[in-house]
């Protein structure tokens, strides 16, 4: 007989080996670029590949101009609102999938992932077709006599939020589904057996059991949305400009890499700070098994 603890010990000894490739990958393709971006943000100017290595905080001073924090704040609001709506739509859907028979679960999950097979850019252009003045939605509204004139839908904050919710759904549903699917269905019966109706059972059993999935889904949606530029670029207008658009424009049209880097660095710091606070207030691994051995 093999002693299981010794076997586990040997396995733990090999762990660094397993962690090696991802650590290398993240170092080369994440840590180094982030460090470079941070370094750039302190450089006086960088044009056409030639830079003078003059240390300066000028870009950060510029970034704290009221214009930019306002855009950043708007980005946070848009991300929060769109994530909230995504959650509102994703939760019932995840419940429905998790409580379906196994065969149907597979099909429904396939349908959730299906949009990801088409490039986001292509899908966003289809939104233009739907939302434009002579588009599908406006025609339906007019046919139903709800409006007489075409309504401005495209290039509004509404379109941007719609795009975010649409784009994020495939990232919000699976983690919630996984959490609910792992839940022991006997817990629901136990709750009802003890006198709790459906509403109470949902509130006291299903919600806490899905918390880890909700936390994962919210993280997966909120953070990428915060820095996104594609959706506001295509569906939004000038008043729905987000921090991602500002950064992109510094690197592209503006050709002001150091300033773009300063904005990026601020965004990265903000996200990290947010994650730290979030993990402190709510540890997604805590409520599941609950046990500290």
Name the site residues for another protein (rule: CB under 8 A). Answer: 184, 186-187, 189-197, 200, 204-205, 208-209, 211, 287-293
Residue indicated by tokens 């919000």: 172
Q: Which residues pair with 47 in a beta bridge?
A: 50
Work out how close the CB of 186 gets to another protein at its nearest, in angstroms, rounded to a whole number: 4
The residue (of 127 and 181) whose beta carbon lies closer to another protein is 181
Work out how close the CB of 205 gets to another protein at its nearest, in angstroms, rounded to a whole number: 6
The residue (of 15 and 291) whose beta carbon lies closer to another protein is 291
The residue (of 47 and 198) whose beta carbon lies closer to another protein is 198
Q: Cα-flanking dihedrals φ and ψ of residue 292, to 5°? A: -110, 110
Q: Residue 177: which of 216, 222, 203 has the closest Cα?
A: 216
Task: Report the Cα 157 to chain-centroid distance in Å.
Answer: 18
The residue (of 190 and 269) whose beta carbon lies closer to another protein is 190
Task: Report the Cα 4 to chain-centroid distance in Å.
Answer: 40
The residue (of 18 and 186) whose beta carbon lies closer to another protein is 186
Work out how close the CB of 202 gets to another protein at its nearest, in angstroms, rounded to a whole number: 12
C-alpha–C-alpha distance, residues 44 and 261, integer Å: 12
Work out how close the CB of 286 gets to another protein at its nearest, in angstroms, rounded to a whole number: 9
Which pair of structure tokens corresponds to residue 242?
């987000």
Residues 242 and 212: beta-carbon distance below 8 Å: no
C-alpha–C-alpha distance, residues 241 and 234, integer Å: 11
Three-class SS state of 283: coil
Work out how close the CB of 284 gets to another protein at its nearest, in angstroms, rounded to a whole number: 13
């Amino acid at each position: 007989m093999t002693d299981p603890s010794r076997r586990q010990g040997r396995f733990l000894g090999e762990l660094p080996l397993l962690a090696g490739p991802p650590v290398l990958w993240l170092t080369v393709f994440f840590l180094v670029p982030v460090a470079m971006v941070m370094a750039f943000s302190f450089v006086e100017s960088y044009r056409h590949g030639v830079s003078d290595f003059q240390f300066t905080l000028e870009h950060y001073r510029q970034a704290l101009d009221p214009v930019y924090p306002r855009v950043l704040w708007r980005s946070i609001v848009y991300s929060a609102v769109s994530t909230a709506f995504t959650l509102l739509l994703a939760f019932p859907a995840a419940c429905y999938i998790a409580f379906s028979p196994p065969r149907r679960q597979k099909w429904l999950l396939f349908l959730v992932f299906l949009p990801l097979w088409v490039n986001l850019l292509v899908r966003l252009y289809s939104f233009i077709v739907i939302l434009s003045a002579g588009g599908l939605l406006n025609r339906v509204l007019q046919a139903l006599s709800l409006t007489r004139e075409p309504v401005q839908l495209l290039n509004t904050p509404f379109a941007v939020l719609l795009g975010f919710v649409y784009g994020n759904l495939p990232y919000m549903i699976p983690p919630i589904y996984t959490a609910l699917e792992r839940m022991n269905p006997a817990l629901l019966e136990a709750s009802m057996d003890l006198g709790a109706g459906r509403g109470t059972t949902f509130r006291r059993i299903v919600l806490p059991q899905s918390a880890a999935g909700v936390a994962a889904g919210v993280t997966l949606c909120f953070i990428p949305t915060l820095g996104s530029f594609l959706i506001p670029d295509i569906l939004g207008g000038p008043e729905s400009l987000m921090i991602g658009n500002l950064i992109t424009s510094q690197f592209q049209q503006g050709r002001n890499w150091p300033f773009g880097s300063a904005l990026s660095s601020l965004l990265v710091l903000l996200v990290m700070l947010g994650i730290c606070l979030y993990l402190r207030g709510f540890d997604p691994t805590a409520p599941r098994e609950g046990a500290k051995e």
